[in-house]
Amino acid sequence: MPSRTVSHGSSGRLRGLFLMMVLVFLESSVFTLAFASSDQHSPTTAHSDGRKATDHGSHNNTGKAFPVLDLNYENVRVPFEISLWVLLASLMKLGFHLVPHLSNIVPESCLLIVVGLLVGGIIRGTGETVPPVLDSKLFFYILLPPIILDAGYFLPIRPFMENLGTILIFAVVGTLWNAFFVGGLLYGVCQIGTESSSILSRIGLLQCLLFGSIISAVDPVAVLAVFEEIHINELLHILVFGESLLNDAVTVVLYHLFEEFSGIGTVTLVKGFLGVISFFVVALGGVLVGVLYGILAAFTSRFTSHTRVIEPLFVFLYSYMAYLSAEIFHLSGIMALIACGAVMRPYVEANISHKSHTTIKYFLKMWSSVSETLIFIFLGVATVAGPHDWNWTFVTVTVILCLVARVIGVVGLTFIINKFRIVKLTTKDQFIIAYGGLRGAIAFSLGFLLEKDHFPEREIFLTAIITVIFFTVFVQGMTIKPLVELLAVKKKQEAKRSINEEIHTQFLDHLLTGIEDICGHYGHHHWKDKLNRFNKKYVKKCLIAGERSKEPQLIAFYHKMEMKQAIQLVESGGGIKLPSAMPSTVSMQNIQPRPPTKPAAERAIPQLSKTKEEEIRKILRTNLQRTRQRLRSYNRHTLVADPYEDGLSDLFLKKQKMFQIEKKLKEMNTYLTVPAPPPDSPTMCRARLASGKHTDFKPDQVQKGNKMCSDPQAYSIKPALNKVPMIQVDLASPQSPDSVNLLDEFGQANQQEEEEQGLMMKPPSRPREGKKPGEEDEAKDQQKLMRCLSDPGPSADEDEDGAFLP
């Protein structure tokens, strides 16, 4: 949507901005009204409950006319308020992109906090008490899981595993160091620096350590929010982000440990030892719970081929249950969620349909985005809500200590880590890692959870926590982008993963495993290889349905790439203009000597006039529509798979056709006297439909040498496009089984003799020697087809453009 507003120019943006402000004002006024009226209504709940008021006492409704329009806010109060908050958050998100230049200077998280402050201020200004919105239960059970699941499901496994040692050291040792350093020094400052009667000196060591453990954890939400906008290189991103995820275990253990200790009051060595053990239990237990649920989810997805509509639900439910189950036992819920998402992803994605995959992706992104926005707004509101107890010494010492501890921790740990890393971390990297240690809402919620009677200094803690959060988010968040530019830190490479990389990566894996085996060393590659082998042999067979369990990773990757390109092809206008960005369809440069730039490519394609292009497009659209209208009625529970209605099959054909044309043209370039017809020429349209065996079209017998077969489409376009030159392209080469087996539904007749036809669909001309491999392939491809097409979605009509969107 931002792109559309940009195209309208600045006036459009200003208009949108103005509208936005109006909406926001309206909404905040509704908010305050809601709060005001809620107070008014609460004493009169009896009145509102009596919707069937006729039964109540005589003071109700005697002599009153039947209420045509009645105001009853109390019943919908809670959902209404929740929706208002979410709406506010979403509108804010929209608004930021409309204001020019704002999103470049200030990260979104800062703006959202400011908005929260404003809303809190408005609510307080109208005299109402600000609701305690950042309730810990709400935060930990509703707001946090979507963000973590989104992170875990899309976690880049390879860089994460490669750097796992580094990440673990930063997460565990770094957090421990931070906690003890900050807590211990704070205690020292409190005891020494102030008079003995002041409130600070009454804070015990354990309380300080508890505070240290709360404040020392790097927050994944804040890190995500800020790092998302600076597009830093993958290594740094995964290091800081991984650390923020994995330090949850440490935080949980330390928090419970110190909370319990400060309740009891005595610390023994045994208890300390138990604390260490509990760390391992919490971390590994969380991961175990996550893995268990992940495997369950993968196993369930194996059987969902007939009810594709609820596939995404399984993913979300199992993950949420993993989180909740871990929380039951006080294990690390975040690690459970990450483990669940990461484990289930490869298997679930092999099983579910393409649309479910898109659904999962977009739901996760949507929920995590809204959650993040809400969290920051609530932080702002909670700041206004208080209660606060500002203590200059405590707060400033905390902020300074946090910074110092982080820097020392990162530098010291990197010095040790670099001895074991192949790619060393440079000073620049260290700076970014230290600077990216942002604190966020988790710290606040943990502080909020403290009980007032155990911790009389709770307000001081909360104030300090909020100050640190504000400092890191505002100061560090705002300045990290210019610093990244200034230090010329490597940015994220935008290159997409190509088939070359995939092959090369696997090749190198095998090579290095071999070298390690020759040296007799059981290193990193050896174990990775063993895990892959185990995965291929046993796990994949259990968890992936059907033939896909045997699919090698390379082939799966290739298919994914082909699918993406097919979708891109249609999005770019059906291939009439070949975008030079797509390598495998850049064909014409093989004919032209030099340069293979865009003008050359366009020169080779005949320049159809605009009207003709439009006609071709219209024809294609009507064709696709017409096939859809032939759908039988269906119900939600049994989605009838009609292969013709999904445009994906057409895309595959189109793409394969283009590939074939380009190959043929390359071989025939010296004989080319007329340019090739555009890939969407009427020959192709007709050919695609004419060879249909099960369609209702029933074309007449295709005549040899005559491309004008009589199907309805041909008649409509023939007069308009007979001027387009066509060439007979001899498709002697066997087509790839991908495209062909998709066509098995179209035509299976042995059409060897129709080779002179030119652009006609054909089954593979390979000899049918081994029936078995052929059958396997066909079965596999059929299944591939069914996976793509078996799930038309809830409604065929709105599916029209849905299939073509990535």
Partner 1 sequence: MGSRASRLLREEEIEEIKKETGFSHSQITRLYSRFTSLDKGENGTLSREDFQRIPELAINPLGDRIINAFFPEGEDQVNFRGFMRTLAHFRPIEDNEKNKNPSATEPLNSRTNKLLFAFRLYDLDRDDKISRDELLQVLRMMVGVNISDEQLGSIADRTIQEADTNGDSCISFNEFIKASFVVNIHICTVVFSFLS
Cα torsion angle, 293, 294, 300, 304, sign: positive
Q: CB–CB of 440/227 below 8 Å?
A: no
Residues contacting partner 1: total by CB under 8 A: 55
| 233 counts as binding partner 1 under rule CB under 8 A | no
List 231, 452, 454, 504, residue binding partner 1 (CB under 8 A): 504
Instruction: Write down the least CB distance from residue 600 to partner 1, Å.
Output: 12
Q: Under 8 Å CB-to-CB from 20, ≥6 apart: which residues?
A: 91, 94, 95, 98
Closer by beta carbon to partner 1, 592 or else 751: 592
Residue 644 per-residue DSSP state: T
CA distance 179 to 405: 9
Query: 79: cis peptide before it, omega within 30°?
Result: no
**Local structure of residue 803 (DSSP, 8 states):** G
525 makes contact with partner 1 (CB under 8 A): yes
Binding mask 617-656 for partner 1 (x = CB under 8 A): ----------------------------------------
Stretch touching partner 1 by CB under 8 A, among 20-28, 142-150, 429-437, 731-739: 731-739
Angle, vertex CA 206, rays to CA 241 and CA 248, nearest 5: 20
- Which residue in the set 150, 259, 457, 738 belongs to the binding site for partner 1 (CB under 8 A)? 738
Site for partner 1 in 739-798 (CB under 8 A): 764, 766, 773, 776-777
- Give the residue, chosen from 157, 277, 310, 511, that forms a contact with partner 1 under the rule CB under 8 A: 511
Minimum CB–partner distance for residue 655 and partner 1 (Å): 11
Is residue 660 within the footprint of partner 1 (CB under 8 A)? no
Residue closer to partner 1 (CB basis): 360 or 740: 740
Q: Please check whether residue 231 is in contact with residue 491, taking contact to mean a CB–CB distance below 8 angstroms.
A: yes
Rounded least distance, CB 163 to partner 1, Å: 11
492 or 693: CB nearest partner 1 = 492
Which residue from 69, 269, 270, 495 is in contact with partner 1, where contact means CB under 8 A? 495
Among 583, 599, 712, 794, the residue binding partner 1 under the rule CB under 8 A is: 583
Considering the rule CB under 8 A, would residue 268 count as an interface residue with partner 1?
no
Longest CA–CA span in the chain (Å) reads 105
Tokens of 227: 């790092």
Give least dist CB 758 to partner 1, A.
21
By CB under 8 A, what part of segment 544-573 binds partner 1? 550, 552, 554-555, 558
The tokens for 105 are 């200077």
Does 414 contact partner 1 by CB under 8 A?
no
Residues 528-547 that bind partner 1 (CB under 8 A): 529, 533
Rounded-to-integer distance, Cα 210 and Cα 468, Å: 16
Is residue 520 close enough to count as binding partner 1 by CB under 8 A?
yes
Per CB under 8 A, 165 contacts partner 1: no
**Contacting range for partner 1; rule: CB under 8 A; set: 149-157, 373-381, 581-589, 697-705:** 581-589
48 binds partner 1 (CB under 8 A): no
CB of 516 to partner 1, least distance (A): 6
What 3-state class would DSSP assign to 491?
Answer: strand
Taking Cα atoms as reference points, which of 116, 478, 9, 114 lies closest to residue 17? 9
CA separation for the pair 176, 169 (Å, rounded): 10
- Letter for the amino acid at 237? H
Instruction: Give the angle subtended at the CA of 368 by the CAs of 362 and 568, to the nearest 5°.
Output: 25
| Cβ-based nearer residue to partner 1, 57 or 165 | 165
Residue 732 contacts partner 1 per CB under 8 A: no
Structure tokens at 75: 């019943």
Produce one character per residue of 579-594: b if its CB has 16 or more CB atoms within 10 Å, e if not: ebeeeebbbbbebeee
3-state secondary structure 145-190: HHHHHHHHHCCCHHHHHHCHHHHHHHHHHHHHHHHHHHHHHHHHHH
Among 507, 527, 538, 715, binds partner 1 (CB under 8 A): 507
Q: Of residues 3, 58, 500, 638, which one binds partner 1 by CB under 8 A?
A: 500
Q: Does 508 bind partner 1 (CB under 8 A)?
A: yes
Q: How far apart are CA 458 and CA 95, in angstroms?
A: 36
Count Cα neighbours of 727 within 13 Å in the Cβ-side half-sphere. Answer: 19
Q: How far is the CB of 750 from partner 1 (least distance, A)?
A: 18
The phi, psi pair for 232, rounded to 5°, reads: -85, 170
State the nearest-atom distance from the C-beta of 424 to partner 1, in Å: 9
Nearer to partner 1, 280 or 420 (CB): 420
Of 59, 128, 107, the C-alpha closest to 221 is 107
**Considering beta carbons, is residue 505 or 625 the nearer one to partner 1?**
505
| Piece in contact with partner 1 (CB under 8 A), picked from 51-59, 420-428, 440-448, 783-791 | 420-428
Instruction: Give yes or no for a contact between 163 and 381, defined as CB atoms under 8 angstroms apart.
Output: no
Residues that bind partner 1 (CB under 8 A): 420, 422-423, 493, 495, 497-501, 503-508, 510-521, 523-526, 529, 533, 550, 552, 554-555, 558, 583-584, 586, 589-590, 659, 734-738, 764, 766, 773, 776-777
